[in-house]
A = this chain, B = another copy of it.
Amino acid sequence: MCTASNYITKKHYFGRNFDYEISYNEKVTIAPRNYKFDFKLIDSIDSHYAMIGVAAGVDAYPLYYDACNENGLSIAGLNFAGNAKYLDEKKGMINITPFEFIPYLLGNFSTVTEVKEALKNINLVNINFSDELPLSPLHWMISDESGAIVVEPMEDGLKVYDNPVGVLTNNPPFDKQMFSLNDYRSLSNKNPENTFSDSFDLDEYSRGMGAIGLPGDLSSSSRFAKVAFTRANSYSGDSEEESVSQFFHILGSVEQQNGCTFIADPDLYEYTIYTSCYNTADSVLYYRTYNNSQITAVKLMSEDLDSGDLIHYKLITDEQISFIN
């Protein structure tokens, strides 16, 4: 499935692991300010904030998995199978399809606060992108330097949660995820005292024993707890390099190694296809792919943002090894 996180040092960083068993030729896709966004049920937008993100390899339309805009607003859509519920068109609401949700929000808004206000009038309608591309069941984490929210499309409408933990995975719904975190409240990055008994000694035989009980499997609720702990206890310098490096380490803590999550024979497994990291202050997208450990970067601000055409960069997926001798 997937994991999203933010991380704040001097600047706000945001990104995600994209976990799946097949790649759809994801591309870095830049939508400049004058790229015309068509929508199924509302009017097109001719002019909007520029945005950069990772999108499915469909040229006609930027089906963003995650993205940020030029004002520092960032968002990622994560699998929410079995829970996401898209509704019929509703009069008096702004009716947007799930695949239009990211462009609509990033095109129009600059902050999470603006988005929260706008969400009151948004209805996510169950209209497929095309016959070949039905809707994915999704929920979203939206983040800026002020904090993050989670948006979940449920039977009775959009649920919007503040996200103090700064991470999101998949099932169950966010309120259940948050609740389950209570069971880990005693975990710590410090080795614990012996409180089991005061009548016999128990040995502190290793560093890191304060977090015993933290799960290490790759199910969505276990990844939620693990990445929440890693992010909450992260320590790094606040330079760009140190921040970006630490961000990849945070998401690396819940990376899906190929082979560990069986999907189907023969040899189909879910794994972390790519990891993205947005410096949202400077609109830079950093990414790694499963077989390319080096960080690649694409800068929104290096492009002609007043253009009307999408700009695509194929993901560099081959290992870039630096041979010294």
Contact = CB atoms under 8 A, between A and B. Distances in A.
Contacts of A262: 188-191, 210
A244 to B, nearest CB: 7
Given A259-B236, A260-B229, A299-B325, A185 B192 contact: yes
Contacts of A200: 164-165, 232
A234 B258 contact: yes
A195 B206 contact: no
One complex includes copies of this chain to the number of 4
Contacts of A186: 186, 192-196, 209-210, 212
A198 to B, nearest CB: 8
Interface residues of A, number: 107
A250 interface: yes
Interface of A: 1, 28, 82, 164-165, 170-172, 176, 179-197, 199-222, 225-226, 228-230, 232-236, 241-242, 244-246, 248-250, 252-253, 255-263, 267, 269-270, 286, 288, 290-291, 293-299, 302-303, 313, 316, 318-325
14 contacts: A179-B205, A185-B193, A185-B204, A207-B270, A213-B213, A214-B217, A230-B257, A230-B260, A252-B252, A293-B294, A294-B321, A298-B323, A303-B325, A313-B324
